[in-house]
Chain A
Amino acid sequence: MRRNRPSWLPQIARGIPVDAEPVTLSQRSIYILPTGSGLAFFGVLLVMLLGALNYQNNLGLFFTFFPLSMLLVSLYHTWLNLLGLQVAVQGGPPVFCGERARFVLHLRNSTARAKIALQAQASGAVAPAQVSLPPRSETSLHLWFPGEPRGVLRLGRVRLESHYPLGFFRAWCYLDSAAETLIYPKPAAWAPLPHPVPGGLHQPGEDQGRGADDFLGLRPYRPGDSPRRLDWKALSRARGLVVKQFGGERADQIWLDWDQLPPADPERRLRWLCRQVLDAHQLGQRFGLRLPEQQIPLGQGIAHQQRCLEALARHA
């Protein structure tokens, strides 16, 4: 597939800046060139033309011109297959290093003709994605990437192309997207136990802490609450999902600190921290994260966990 694509083209070709807002593919952003088999067809047709002309064979000429015309008409179809398509690009959900990451191309076809066999390809993607859209329809296309290394995966340039209908022409456009997908560090299998918040850091004004010791009461379940704290008896008494709240000492208030980890290379530390974050969240602890250049204050809940993981992913 890549054989005949000029390698200089991507460098000088104009891409369309695309983000979550849909952009319509216009005439000026679509490139079109014959494929390998298209060029071969032109070559065979040229031989046929010269032969038929030389032998003054009119039937041969017609049987040269007819496929030639079909070839030219198919050029229109290939071009129209991209024209008017609306595209938006979004990063996919964050993944842990080693899982497969993705980007989502939202395609909307608001024209009256079907858009058939569209292929999206980005450098580094696992495989080109292919999809067809009936008239007035929309769909999403996933571009899968290997979720490696840890950090921010930027999509960069996407080539959206089409060989429809006969594969003799390739129409394509470049989508330049700033979309990114986060790749969290792969959580270590185990991690050193974090230190509880030392007393010196105790600040009376902050005392809404909910810890593990003293039972404070019940509150409704919120997503992200540890299943260990569910009041199963309440559930069995058909009072719905309620969570036991504990309070008192700061046993559940911890700092996950880069500097307190045993000496190791940065990626290993990040993997330990990742494990700690996941565990702390799992246990419903209030935790904060200290990285060399960043500190995330104490907090709790799924959003907090994601914020911490993002900080780990973005750690330079």
Chain B
Amino acid sequence: MPDQKRVLYWMQPIPALSLLYALAYLPLIAQLAPAISLSFYALILLNLAAHRWTARKPGPWLRGLLLLGMIILVYRSHHSLVGQSGGTALLVLLLALKLLESRTQRDFHLLGLLLCLLIVVVFLFDQSMQIAFFYLPILLLNLARFALPYGEDQPSAAQALRLILRLGLQAFPLAVLLFLFFPRLESPLWERLPVEHQGKTGIKPWLELGNVRELVLDDALAFRVQFSGEIPPEKVRYWRGPVLWHTNGRRWTPSPPAGNEAAPMPILRAERTVDYRVFLEPTGRRTLFALDLPVAVSASDARITRDFQVLAANPLNQLRAYELTSVLGYRTTGLSLEEAEAALQVPAVTDRMKALVASWRKRAPTPEALVQRGLDYFRREPFYYSLRPPPLGARPLDRFLFETKQGFCEHYASSFALLMRLGGVPARVVLGYFGGEINPLSGHLIVRQSDAHAWVEVWLGDRGWTRVDPTAVIPPERVERADWLSQLAASAPRRFRDPAATQTLFHRLQLLADAVDASWNRWIIGLKAEDQRRWLEELGLGALGTYGLVLFLVLGAMGLGGLLLYLLRNQRRLPKEQVQQLYEKLRAFLHRRGIEPNAAEGPLDYGRRVARHCPELGPSVQAFVEHYARLRYGTLKADALQINWLRKQLQEIRKHTKRV
């Protein structure tokens, strides 16, 4: 019997499982309450300490007490034991407690299996590529632990890892097949617990001077768009979000007229249709952003409101992919009384503002002309586009319009909408994003938080709601350039962006990472039942539906299984065996030519005997057997080169014999 091998400390069940659990928990630190994380790691450390020094496990009383404490802690921290974070917190603490009391191989096996479950639970919080690559080694190390308990044949850590990597490689094609063709559910099996999400940024559904500005300095991704045709030009890429109807002079809020969520407003004329798919990062809100003007949305739980917002049924706490159809040219109709009233609501304003609008109205009898007057005012007067406007005090819009004349899109949009309302033109403010950068590597559009924008819609009798962007009339020379903006380089707000910054290597690498991330979102996270249906349709199997997928799965699995079995059963022979095989072939060949093999004879004697019998073969056969003897009994290593030489020599002998 071999000596008891010294087992590496980290290969023993308790240290190994403690380490794996400690690693697997890391991404949860950002998601769960600090008290939970502290307790979890305290339990892990306690476990390691107990393993190291006492080998004693806490008794049932202490365990019960700990369990009770954990439940109270989870409830106090997350106010729930079953919600996403509450449930996860409870799960991890129970697992840590289980680890603390485990002593049998069976317990350790169970903990290994439950670690796999924990990983999938973490994916409810985050499905990014980084997370996937973080957990892949943890999963493999965890499974490698199952290769360990083989008594006397206990493999080393390296052997166990090699084994698991080999199994992983062999299993990978099957896993990909299952991933691609396993039928996805169109609707959930049971009601999903709401997924929680923290730390959202993004457009808020109200406008207060200053809150778009915060966003504009944030270069985080808002969403990506994959167009099925050509990408529309930048000047029409208005990504529509919340629509704001009500203002108190400082702040704009949605408060839409009653019946707004029923159905979109009728569209009289629609042209230039665009189909695209949006991958929206989690926002924690219901708004889905759409190219102005959305007419159809694919998601079953989303609908288009009367003021053309696209709203999901629930707040978006996970990356969300949805398909949309928009029209770039449109004419809406049918303004209701309530809407007209809401779109003309005016807060208390200063006399200066009233006078300004009254002066415009005198010369501009029609709404169109009034809009033009308003835009001309911003263009003619020394209005500056600045991210750091001076403070505005108690009557902000008045001060902006007549004194500071420095502001950002939110200043222009809110003051313009108010001026239009004063002039009797129904107007509302729309929040969203404008533009976006095209990633040349993948062909999709990147829309960042820094592309956040606010613009105005006015009701013109014969054209319906018409988009007016007062910010756009500020000429480039009146855009404030500041040093602190240049640090933002390519991700600076669009109008402050230095074109040269988009040409740097760093930015190209950013685009590459973005393209990889986009494909991840599209093909890993975003793979849906619709995609699977489309593949089947392209293969002409659309009629089979889910059965087609199952058919694919079964056939594919059988094919892969057969191939794997074939490969496993026909493993390459060892070099020494190949050498022996060649020698046997030579003897069999010469046997057919009349030279009996003799089992007791060594290769050199055999060679001499062959030379006596067939002198013409003598030299080549002798060269063969000498080489064979050196490979087989000598120090010469049987590598591919040597084996190849033997093989060639055998062919020579065969050819030679045929000629003779």
Binding site for B on A (CB under 8 A): 36-37, 40-41, 44-45, 47-48, 50-70, 72-74, 76-77, 80, 112-113, 116-117, 130, 132, 135-136, 164-168
Contacts and interface: CB of A to CB of B under 8 A. Distances in A.
A56 B146 contact: no
Contact of A51 (B113, B120, B151): B120
Interface stretch (B93-101, B173-181, B325-333): B173-181
List 8 tightest A-B contacts by C-beta distance, closest first: A69-B171, A69-B174, A65-B178, A60-B120, A70-B171, A69-B175, A66-B175, A59-B127
Contacts of B109: 37, 40, 167
B135 interface: yes
8 contacts: A52-B120, A53-B184, A59-B524, A63-B132, A65-B175, A69-B178, A72-B174, A80-B568
Interface stretch (B466-474, B484-492, B569-577, B634-642): B569-577
A74 B106 CA distance: 19
A64 B120 contact: yes
Nearest to A163: B150
Contact of A132 (B153, B164, B174): B153
A168 B171 CA distance: 15
Nearest to A130: B151
Interface in B100-153: 106, 109-110, 113-114, 116-117, 119-121, 123-124, 127, 131-132, 135, 139, 143, 146-147, 149-153
B182 interface: yes
A55 B150 contact: no
A37 B146 contact: yes
A58 B318 CA distance: 12
Contacts of B170: 73
B127 A117 contact: no
B113 A40 contact: yes
A55 B525 CA distance: 12
Contacts of A47: 117
A37 B114 CA distance: 12
Interface in B525-557: 525-528
A165 B167 contact: yes
Given A112-B573, A165-B163, A65 B179 contact: yes
B218 to A, nearest CB: 26
Given A60-B120, A69-B174, A117 B153 contact: yes
Residue from A55, A65, A69 having most chain B Cβ neighbours under 10 A: A69
Interface of B: 106, 109-110, 113-114, 116-117, 119-121, 123-124, 127, 131-132, 135, 139, 143, 146-147, 149-153, 163-164, 167-168, 170-172, 174-175, 178-179, 182, 184-185, 188-190, 192, 195, 524-528, 561, 564-565, 568-569, 571-574, 577
Contact of A74 (B124, B149, B151, B167): B167
B167 A77 contact: yes
Given A59-B127, A165-B147, A135 B574 contact: yes
B143 A48 contact: no
A67 B172 CA distance: 9
Contacts of B192: 54-55
Contacts of B119: 63
B129 to A, nearest CB: 9
Contact of A112 (B123, B526, B574): B574
Nearest to A64: B120
A80 B526 CA distance: 39
Residue from A44, A51, A70, A112 having most chain B Cβ neighbours under 10 A: A70
A117 B160 CA distance: 14
A76 B528 CA distance: 32
Nearest to A42: B113
Contact of A54 (B121, B139, B188): B188
A37 B147 CA distance: 12
Contacts of A167: 109, 146-147, 149
B524 A44 contact: no
Residue from A40, A62, A76, A112 having most chain B Cβ neighbours under 10 A: A62
Given A56-B184, A59-B132, A76-B565, A44 B116 contact: yes
Contact of A57 (B123, B153, B574): B123
A101 to B, nearest CB: 20
Given A53-B189, A57-B120, A117 B184 contact: no
A44 B117 CA distance: 7
Nearest to B108: A37
B185 A53 contact: yes
Contacts of A67: 116, 139, 143
B571 A112 contact: yes
A116 B120 contact: no
B171 A63 contact: no
A303 B26 CA distance: 74
A117 B139 CA distance: 24
A83 B537 CA distance: 43
Contacts of A72: 171, 174, 561
Contact of B139 (A40, A66, A168): A66
Given A64-B120, A72-B561, 4 more contacts: A50-B189, A58-B127, A59-B132, A70-B168
Contacts of B171: 66, 69-70, 72-73
Nearest to A118: B153
Contacts of B175: 62, 65-66, 68-70
Contacts of B106: 36-37
B599 to A, nearest CB: 18
Nearest to B84: A55
A48 B120 contact: yes
Residue from B132, B170, B171, B573 having most chain A Cβ neighbours under 10 A: B171
B146 A136 contact: no
A51 B189 CA distance: 9
B143 A57 contact: no
A63 B120 contact: yes
A63 B123 contact: yes
B577 A136 contact: yes
A171 to B, nearest CB: 14
B277 to A, nearest CB: 16
B146 A61 contact: no
A59 B520 CA distance: 10
Contacts of B127: 57-60
B319 to A, nearest CB: 10
Contacts of A44: 113-114, 116-117
B234 to A, nearest CB: 32
A117 to B, nearest CB: 5
Contacts of B577: 112, 136
A73 B167 contact: yes
A117 B571 CA distance: 20
A113 B528 CA distance: 41
Contacts of A164: 150
B638 to A, nearest CB: 14
B179 A57 contact: no
Contact of B135 (A55, A63, A73): A63
Contacts of A117: 150-151, 153
Residue from B146, B192, B574 having most chain A Cβ neighbours under 10 A: B146
A297 B120 CA distance: 80
B524 A62 contact: yes
Nearest to B576: A136
